[in-house]
Amino acid sequence: MSNPTGPQDPYGAQPPQGGGYGAQPPGGGYGAPPPPPGYGSVPGGSTEKNSLGVWALILGILGLVCCGIFTAIPAIIVGQKSKQAAAEGLANNGGLGSAGVILGWIGIALTVLGAIWAFAMGGLAVLGDPTIWDTTGY
């Protein structure tokens, strides 16, 4: 027996994927409720503690480049606060806080090694030499 309407789909009629209009946005589209907390959003609706991670990274870089221990110690403190805020869900950039902590410790180590090197080379022994401060011209 022949089929007058043409070949039959063995699975029945299938609707087009995505309803023919492309993929739906997260949350179900217009009029749908927003996704529950924990799915791309931070409880409370803001990420106000994200600046801690940025500051930790900036302070850590400054501790390496020019300011030494004066910005390395604050980098460690702010970095720990940033990691704590990320663990509590108040921020989403805990990696920047970790980087700030690591750079802070490296900055402290380099400052200590530089001070040891300066003492070993006699760089600060010059301050105790009285002939440097003699301005009489002899």
pLDDT at 99: 95
User: What mean pLDDT do residues 49-75 have?
Assistant: 92
Top-confidence residue, 8 or 77: 77
User: What mean pLDDT do residues 62-80 have?
Assistant: 94
pLDDT of 12 over the 80 cut: no
Top-confidence residue, 48 or 121: 121
pLDDT of 50 over the 60 cut: yes
The whole-angstrom separation of Cα 75 and Cα 56 is: 5
Domain boundaries, the chain: 50-123
Residue 75's Cα: distance from chain center in Å?
12
pTM: 0.57
Nearest to 103 by CA among 67, 50, 61, 51: 61
Kindly indicate the confidence band of residue 38, based on its pLDDT and cuts at 50, 70 and 90.
low
On whether the CB atoms of residues 125 and 86 are closer than 8 A, the answer is no
pLDDT of 62 over the 80 cut: yes
